[in-house]
Amino acid sequence: MTRNITPLAGATLLLAAVLCLLTPARAAPPAGLKKGFDTVVRPDGRWRAQVTALRAHWFYSWGAPGPTDLPPSVQFVPMDWGYYGNKNDDLVKWLAKVKAQPNVDALLGFNEPDGKDKANLSVDGALEGWPYLMRTGLTLGSPAAVHADGDWMKAFMTGAEKKHLRVDFITIHWYGGANPQDFLGYLARIHTLYHRPLWVTEFAPADWSGHRGITPKMAADFMRVALPGMNKLNYVQRYSWYSAAPDDAALGASALFNKDDSLTDLGRLYASLP
């Protein structure tokens, strides 16, 4: 479903931008608590069992507000997936609820806005809505583009600089092969491109050929290098492994959970790492 921002009157947008610039971001999340997980919050409580089993320090669910029964050691991070309602007042009210949640210090921007089956936003539309996110005063992550170095993301960041919009860190999705050095090199290039800290909110080795060219051992070897590598990088503030179903053609070897919700061998490895 396509989700677009309702056009703003010029004066309203200008006022919003001014108010944004007067609202400083909160401090960055604490270092040393990088490992997270992404999972959908449902009434069955599966999310809680998964986050606890993986010993994750934080998690997100591609939306907000978060659950009220968080484990004491886990932080929820809300996301504005890309839905704004029919009126800008709806977005203002929704963001007020997001900010009012306890222990929330960061907000993730739009989910794959350059993807037609995801948020599907134009660059201009995303820039028009960005001041509303800034007004929360929360540490603000960039849109999580399909390609962090693609044309959409480059245009958004150029537009944000011209409009003096605040983007505190870059949010990355990555589904490449099983070479951890390629992955860590990509993170270095994105950091150099935008000169901001990074959150890797979706990543896992994937084989898009349909031939299942990545094995669980290859995924584990990748994880044993990639996670310690990110832990050593000061500019990588947080990361979250994406776990598809174990029979997924592209990502099955990277699954952290079996179909009965028990941990795979890879899931046990993820849980054992800091």
Predicted local confidence at residue 200, as pLDDT: 98
Judge contact between 70 and 76, C-beta under 8 A.
yes
pLDDT of 17 over the 70 cut: no
Q: What is the pLDDT of residues 42-96, one digit of tens each?
A: 999 999 999 999 999 999 999 988 998 999 899 999 999 986 544 577 888 889 9
pLDDT, mean of residues 18-25: 46
| Cα separation, 18 vs 24, whole angstroms | 12
Q: How far apart (Å, rounded) are the C-alpha atoms in residues 140 and 137?
A: 8
Question: How high does pLDDT run on average in the chain?
Answer: 88
- Its pTM stands at 0.88
pLDDT of residue 94: 87
Query: In 3-state terms, what secondary structure has residue 13?
Result: helix
3-state secondary structure 164-206: CCCCCEEEEEECCCCCHHHHHHHHHHHHHHHCCCEEEEEECCC
> Does the structure show a pLDDT above 80 at 22?
no
Closest C-alpha to 57, from 185, 189, 239, 235: 239
Question: What was the pLDDT predicted at 142?
Answer: 98
Residue 267: its pLDDT value, please? 98
Q: Which domains does the chain have, with CATH numbers?
A: 32-272 (3.20.20.80)
Distance CA 226, CA 235 (A): 14
Residue pair 69/48 in contact by the 8 Å Cβ criterion: yes
